[in-house]
Amino acid sequence: PTLVALARARKILDKIGARQELWIGGGLNNGGDFAKALALGADAVFCATSLLVAMGCTYCRLCYLGKCPKGIATQDVELRKKLNVEESAQKIANFIKNSTEEIKMIAGVCGENDIHKLNKGHLRALNSEIARITETKLCSS
């Protein structure tokens, strides 16, 4: 849904001549997802859940209760002791660095030396509905 919403938003913003930057997040988990978003017209991408996972989140969905067993999403003093902040910060830095390198590699494979030159022409859709919505070529064509 995120990439479909992005494609629609970009089309509308371009149609009305809007000059706002388009940032997108939600459901983007790795460099490949980020590269697709840039190719579909995002000016920037952001993520949250994948950073939590990089820190060690086990996705137990107890955040809202404040009972995160990894100490990430809690105010409980005993649970917070389980989180090594320095180690978690390094893991996040590694995730961002590796995702950035992945985006650069994807751009390079597409013949581009700038990630912001990725565009719909570099993408292929797996089914005709997605091809129509995103205005990209179908994988088989």
Reported as a single tens digit per residue, the pLDDT across 33-86 is 999 999 999 999 999 999 999 999 999 999 999 999 999 999 999 999 999 999
Per-residue pLDDT, 22? 97
pLDDT bin (cut points 50, 70, 90) of residue 121 is very high
Domain ranges, ordered by start, for the chain:
2-138
- Asked if residue 141 has pLDDT above 90, the reply is no
In this prediction the pTM is: 0.90
Tell me what the mean pLDDT of segment 4-11 comes to: 95
Beta strand 44-46 with 23-25: parallel, antiparallel or unpaired?
A: parallel
